[in-house]
Amino acid sequence: MPLLLLKDLPRYECLLEGAKEFPDLDPSACEAFLHLLRTSDEVFSLVENDLAVHGISHGRFGVLMLLWNPAQRRIDAAHAAGDCSSGPRTPAELADAAGVTRATMTGLIDTLERDGFVRREPDPTDRRMMSVLLTEKAERFLVGILPAHFKLMTRIMAPLSESERKTLVRLLTKVLENASEISVPATEPARGPPAIC
């Protein structure tokens, strides 16, 4: 829930006014920019409050989802293997996937382990590494709260039609790709494997 400049966004006329003083101010760009951040902030806090009701923060929820999704795939793929543990992953992988630092991931795993959602196991081959495994408690927890979580997403996006959603995704993707390019300036593709689900 980042502090967002303004709860009430400036009217377009005010941006035009500001553009007189600052030639660098592009009113339509600024308007789109502020609306993007403002809307996302509102949506984000909605979800965070909903998760908080169930006693978990957005960050910890994200880690659980990252650990849980591979488990689901494994269950689909090798259903009869009798292996009922979740798919393990290392803190470094989790940090990369979640887009936080390793230090942050250490803290998140600490609290998740304290609350019994996760356990750490040393890697048998490389003694520097750890595997983070989801507990059964966590899987039950996720199955319990996910329906409400999905319902909230649906409710938030309800005012948009299917075609409007497609349009929104298309425009956001343009902005996202551009922003990624700005933040990692002029590097060749260097694409890794695409997202796993």
Partner DNA sequence: CTTTTATAGTTAGCCTCCTAACCATCCTCC
Partner DNA sequence: GGAGGATGGTTAGGAGGCTAACTATAAAAG
**Cα angle 128-135-148, degrees, rounded to a multiple of 5:** 125
The site string for a copy of itself over 120-139 (x = CB under 8 A, - otherwise) reads --------------------
Query: Looking at 73, 102, 155, 166, which residue binds DNA (CB under 7 A)?
Result: 102
- For residue 113, the SS3 value is helix
Encoded amino acid at 141, one letter: F
32 belongs to the binding site for a copy of itself (CB under 8 A) = yes
The first and second tokens of residue 95, run together, are: 């940090």
Pick one of 39, 40, 101, 178: the residue that binds DNA (CB under 7 A).
Answer: 101
Binder of DNA out of 65, 75, 111, 133 (CB under 7 A): 111
Site for DNA (CB under 7 A): which residue of 17, 26, 42, 110?
110
Query: What binding mask, one character per residue, do residues 150-169 give for a copy of itself by CB under 8 A, x or -?
Result: xx-xxxxxxxx-x-xxxxxx
Query: Length of the chain in residues, anyone?
Result: 197
**What distance in Å separates the CA atoms of residue 147 and residue 162, rounded to the nearest whole number?**
21
184 torsion bin: left (phi>0), alpha (psi -120 to 50), beta (else): beta
Q: Which of 147, 186, 187, 189 binds a copy of itself (CB under 8 A)?
A: 147
Distances (CA, A) of 81 to 39, 47, 75, 78, 190: 45, 36, 9, 6, 36
Q: Which two tokens stand for residue 28?
A: 């339509």
SS3 38: helix
> In the set 66, 68, 91, 118, which binds DNA (CB under 7 A)?
91
Of 38, 90, 119, 152, the one binding DNA (CB under 7 A) is: 90
Query: DSSP letter string over 62-113?
Result: HHHHHHHHHHHHHHHHSGGG---SPPPB-HHHHHHHHTS-HHHHHHHHHHHH
Specify whether the CB–CB gap between 184 and 191 falls below 8 A: no
Residue 125 CB, nearest distance to a copy of itself (Å)? 27
- How many amino acids of this chain bind a copy of itself (CB under 8 A)? 89
Q: Is 175 in the site for a copy of itself (CB under 8 A)?
A: yes
Between 137 and 174, CB nearer to a copy of itself: 174
Q: Which is nearer to a copy of itself, 14 or 121 (CB)?
A: 14
- State in angstroms the smallest separation of the CB of 166 from DNA: 30
Residues between 81 and 100 with contacts to a copy of itself, criterion CB under 8 A? 96-100
